[in-house]
Copies of this chain bind each other. A is one copy, B any other.
Amino acid sequence: MTHRTLTVGLGERSYLIHIGRGLLDQAELLAPHLGSRRAAVVTNEVVAPLYAQAVERALEACGTRHFRVVIPDGEAEKRWETLDRVHGELLRAQADRKTVIVALGGGVVGDLAGFAAATYQRGVAFIQVPTTLLAQVDSSVGGKTGINHALGKNMVGAFHQPLAVIADTATLDTLPERELSAGLAEVIKYGAIDDIAFFAWLEENIERLRARDPGALAHAIGRSCEIKARIVALDEREAGVRALLNLGHTFGHAIETLEGYGAWLHGEAVAAGMVMAARFSERLGRAPAGDALRLERLLVRAGLPVEPPAIAPDAWLDAMGRDKKNEAGRITLILLDRLGSAVVEKGAPQGEIEAFVAGR
């Protein structure tokens, strides 16, 4: 087993990201964080039968006592009721402040289990073991945890950094096609916001990625994590540059909230949202004509939707008006100066936004 290790540099909260095939049952990656502590493996009913035993074997090799908490699958589970059940299972097992939560699954499991860790007994440690492409390239890195509110995606949560991220790329072998594509949306995002050479590489290699070529996947995941780790280290709590990682998310979160959590996968909503952001950037004369189309073509080749569902203009504005990036009642957007270079725009003319979502 060879693997690659990156660092997220956050002072005393720094941690490693391990990326490679066959890492799930490698005790030496877990051992530095466990010792005599107990572990709670929080996972879902789809992932548990596939991968929980491998992780539990590794825990046993560390001499760590463990128990398992299994939640249902799906974005709709990212809510208070499920979190309350997880807390209840931790309490019934008499988990204490030294217990380490191991979040085994995709973005929903990672966000929910991470927030459970942030809030159980006012905070316990956790380890991210992402098993989807989206979680491996994005949601497991950077310490954003939380749940959805009926009125807005990811509106309730905490910044809570993991002790480590262990991304076993072999878990992608079982990932449904649609989820692979959803993860590719976030991969393409990194190229669009920060690295035109990586974007061009993705244009060359998108078919290899969809065919799950291990070398191509390893490169895409590694480069995505490098970009994310660098940006998070610059701005842990999103006071500035970290907001760039939200390209497509203002429109995308509105789609997820308004269509009902889970109807669109997060990556699908981000794909359509990025195209909207790129088109709006062109409309404002900020991005060169043609960039939106180039982005759209790559997303289509990745198997992603590029047009939003039919949403009334008022509903768009209402949902976007509750975005976390907003200040003083103004909608903040992430726009493109050009492909490969994004910018946080707090001053976009609100009339232009209104006309844009109204299709005028």
In the assembled complex, the Cα of A123 lies from the Cα of B157 at a distance in Å of: 8
Give A118-136 as 1s and 0s: 1 = Cβ < 8 Å from B's Cβ atoms. Answer: 1111110000000000000
- Give the residue of B96, B97, B149, B158 whose beta carbon is less than 8 angstroms from that of A118: B158
Assess the B326–A87 pair: CB atoms within 8 A.
no
Assess the A150–B120 pair: CB atoms within 8 A.
no
In the assembled complex, the Cα of A300 lies from the Cα of B82 at a distance in Å of: 43
In the assembled complex, the Cα of A327 lies from the Cα of B329 at a distance in Å of: 47
> Which size bracket describes the interface of A in this complex?
35 or more
In the assembled complex, the Cα of A121 lies from the Cα of B328 at a distance in Å of: 15
In the assembled complex, the Cα of A237 lies from the Cα of B122 at a distance in Å of: 9
- Give the residue of B87, B94, B98, B157 whose beta carbon is less than 8 angstroms from that of A119: B157
Which residues of B sit under 8 angstroms from A123, Cβ to Cβ?
Answer: 158-159, 237
Assess the B119–A156 pair: CB atoms within 8 A.
yes
In the assembled complex, the Cα of A79 lies from the Cα of B2 at a distance in Å of: 47
In the assembled complex, the Cα of A327 lies from the Cα of B119 at a distance in Å of: 18
Assess the B144–A122 pair: CB atoms within 8 A.
yes
Assess the B155–A121 pair: CB atoms within 8 A.
yes
Question: Which residues of A line the B interface, CB within 8 A?
Answer: 36, 80-81, 83-84, 87-88, 91-92, 94, 96-98, 118-123, 144, 146, 149-152, 155-159, 237, 321-322, 324, 326-329
